[in-house]
A and B are shown apart, each in its own frame.
Chain A
Amino acid sequence: MRHLLQGRRIPLAWLLLTRQPIRLLVALAGISFAGILMFMQLGFREGLFDASVTVHRMFDTDLVLISPRSMSSISMSGFPRRRLVQTMAHPAVSGTTPVNWNFLLWRNPQTLVTRSILALGFEPTDSILNDPQLSYKTESLTKPGRVLFDKLSRKEFGPISEWYEQGKIVETEVAGKRVRVSGLVSLGPSFGADGNLLTSRETFLKLLPSTPTGSIEIGLIRLKSGYNKQSVADAISSSLPKDVRVLTREEFIDFEKNYWRTSTSIGFIFTLGAVMGFVVGCVIVYQILYSDVSDHLPEYATLMAMGYRLKTLLGVVAREGVLLAVMGYLPAYMAAQGLYALVRSSTRLPVAMDLDRSLLVFSLILLMCMGSALLAMRRLVDADPAEIF
C-alpha cells in the first residue's frame, strides 16, 4: 500500500527524451528505419516461403499421406495406394483422394520449346482442390488426353489461356504425347513449379508410363467434422506400416516451407537482411542513449549526491529504452503495412502483416533498445557525485 501511495513520480525518462525534440525525432527515425528494414526482410522471407506452398494450400484435405522418402514438392516419392485405402477403416475419415504428382515436360505450342511443369493426376470424380468451380471442369478430363492448364503459370509455357479464351483448340505435347487443353484453372506458380496442370489419373499414367502401378505420391484424407486432426493423424500413423508418413494439412505446408527454409540459401539471405536492420538499429539507439547519458551525467551525479540510488537512475535509462522502443515501433508498423500492400500489388508475392511477425519485430526493437540502454548504463556507473562540487 505504501508503495502504491508513492507510486507516482515525475516521469523523468519521458522528460529527458521529450525536452530535446529534435534528437528524439532523429532517434525515432533511426529506430523506425531499423524496424521497417526488419519488417520488410522478414516479410519477403515469409512471402517467398508462402509462395512455395501455393498449391499445397489449395488441396481439399485435412490429412496428407506422403512417402517418408519425399523431401519436397520437387522430389516426391511414391508409396502404395493401398495405404490410403486402409485409412478408410478409421471412423473419422469421410473421403480420400489419391494424387499422382510429378514434373513433366510441356512443349510451348508457339515456340516449341519444352519446359518442366507440375502435373497432378487424380480421379476426375474425386475432390482435389478447394475450388467449387472445379467439378464442372473436371468432367472434361474423363476423356483421355485432356488436361486443365493453370492460367497463372509463367508465360514461358505459351499463350495457352489467351488461345483457349479465344475459342481455339489448344493442343500440345506433354512428355512427348499429344494432349488437348480442355479448361483453365488458377493455382499460381511456386518455387518448385513454374506452372501447373491437372489431369485424370488415366492420362497421367499414359504420359508417364514408368509410374509403378498402384503407386501414388500424395494421399488426401478428409475427416468428418468434430474430430481432432492431430489425434486422428496419430491414430492412423500408428495403424499403418512405416512406409508412409501421416501429416496434417498444416504440417504438410510446413514440410514444404521447411525444405526451402533449411535446404536453400533464401532463408539465410533474408534473415541476414533482418539481422543487418537489427544491428543498424542497435548502433543508432546506443548512440542516442549514450550521448543522452553523457550529456546528463552531471545531473545524474547530482541525483546520486542527493541520495538517489544507482538502481533508480539505471531504471530511468531503462525506461528511456522502453519509451524509444514503443515510440519507434508504431511508425515502423504503419509504414510496413503500407509497403506490404505496395509489394503485394506490384510483385504478387503473398506478403502480409501477421501477429507473429509484428510481435517478433517488436521484441527485436525492444531488445535493441534495452541492450543499448544496458551499454549506456555503464557510463552512468562512472558518474562520480564528488566531481560536481
Chain B
Amino acid sequence: MNLLANSSVPTFISAEKPAVEIVGLSHWFGKGIMRREVLQSISLEINSGEVVLLTGPSGCGKTTLLTLIGALRKVEAGDLRVFGCDLRGSSRKTRQLLRKNIGMIFQGHNLLRCLTAEQNVQMGADLIDGLSYRVRRDQAREWLRLVGLSDQMDKLPHDLSGGQKQRVAIARALAARPKILLADEPTAALDSVTGREIVDLLRRLAKDQSCSVLMVTHDPRILDIADRVLKMEDGKMVQPLE
C-alpha cells in the first residue's frame, strides 16, 4: 500500500521555501534576576528533505530550539519561519495547524498508556483529514510493520520494552505524514543495532516523503546518516568542523 499518497497540506505551506528559516532567534527562561538566556541569536536553515543532526552538551538549548521549531513555545525575539509561516506572534490556531505537519518524537516516548500500539499509531494517522477509519487503521498497521512491530500491535505500552515503545512513537510520528520531523534523542533507549536500524529507517522514510529531519542526538555512531551536523554550545551555534 502507498503510505506516501498526497496528504492535505494547509495552504500557507509553500514548497519552494526552506522548511525552517531561523534568523537571530533568542530565548530566555525565568524572570527578573533569574532570567537566563538559553538561546543567543541562533540562525539556521533546513531545506525540505534534508536530514540535520544537532549535537552539543546537555543544557545548551537544543531541546528549547526543538520546541520552538515545533510551535510548542512562543517566539520571544528573532525570526522563526516554519514552511514560510512566521511563528512570532502567531495565533493558537496557526500553531495547532502547523503542529499537524510537524512530527515529533519525544525523549520520553509519551505513548498513551490506555491505547494499544496500533491505536497509538492510529492517533497519528487520525490527524490526516479525509480518510476512512479503515484506511487509517490499515496505515497504522503498515507503519508498525515498517518499524518491525507487526507482531506487537495489540500490546499496551506497559507490555513493550523501551526500544519497542520508542519504535511505536516513531511510527506514530510518521503516521501523521509530517513535512518535518523533530526528534529528541530517538535512539537513547535503544541498543546500538536497533538504534542503527531506526535511524536508517527514519532517513529512508524521510527521503521517500521529502520530509526534513532535525534530530538531537548524543550518539556519535549515527552521525553518518546526516546531510549536515550542527553543534551547539551555551545557546550558540558553533561552526561545525568540515
Contact = CB atoms under 8 A, between A and B. Distances in A.
Interface of A: 2, 5-10, 12, 15-16, 19-20, 296, 298-299, 302-310, 385-386, 388-389
B112 A5 contact: no
B67 A307 contact: no
Nearest to A8: B133
B132 A5 contact: yes
Given A306-B123, A307-B176, A386-B72, A2 B110 contact: no
A299 B120 CA distance: 11
Nearest to A9: B126
A307 B126 contact: no
Interface in B87-110: 92, 96-102, 104, 106-108, 110
A10 B184 CA distance: 27
B126 A298 contact: no
Given A2-B129, A6-B132, A302-B112, 5 more contacts: A9-B133, A10-B123, A12-B114, A298-B110, A307-B176
Contacts of B98: 307
Given A2-B130, A10-B119, A386-B73, A309 B67 contact: no
A302 B97 CA distance: 15
Contacts of A6: 129-133, 136
Contacts of B114: 12, 15-16, 19-20, 296
A388 B127 contact: no
Contacts of A2: 129-130
B115 interface: yes
A273 B133 CA distance: 47
Nearest to B126: A9
**Residues of A contacting B: mostly:** helix
A305 B102 CA distance: 9
Contacts of A7: 133
B237 interface: no
Contact of B110 (A9, A15, A307, A388): A388
A286 B241 CA distance: 57
B106 A388 contact: yes
Nearest to A301: B110
B99 A307 contact: yes
Nearest to B216: A389
Nearest to A2: B130
Interface of B: 63, 66-67, 70, 72-73, 92, 96-102, 104, 106-108, 110, 112-115, 119, 122-124, 126-127, 129-133, 136, 156, 172-173, 176, 184
Contacts of B123: 10, 12, 303, 306
29 contacts: A2-B130, A5-B130, A5-B131, A5-B132, A6-B130, A6-B136, A9-B133, A10-B119, A12-B115, A12-B123, A15-B115, A15-B119, A16-B114, A20-B114, A296-B113, A302-B112, A303-B112, A304-B96, A305-B72, A306-B100, A306-B123, A306-B127, A306-B173, A306-B176, A307-B99, A308-B96, A310-B92, A388-B106, A389-B66
A19 B127 contact: no
A302 B70 CA distance: 12
Given A9-B126, A10-B122, A307-B127, A19 B72 contact: no
Nearest to B169: A302
A299 B113 contact: yes
Contacts of B113: 19, 296, 299
B88 to A, nearest CB: 16
A304 B131 CA distance: 21
- Of listed B66, B96, B124, B184, residue having the most chain A CB within 10 A: B96
B106 A389 contact: yes
Nearest to B140: A10
A162 B132 CA distance: 78
Nearest to A19: B114
Contact of A299 (B104, B110, B133): B110
Contacts of A16: 114
Choose among B97, B112, B119 the residue with the greatest number of A CB atoms under 10 Å from its CB. Answer: B112
A256 B110 CA distance: 64
Contacts of A303: 112, 123
Contact of A306 (B104, B119, B131, B184): B104
A302 B106 contact: yes
A2 B122 CA distance: 18
A305 B129 contact: no
A385 B110 contact: no
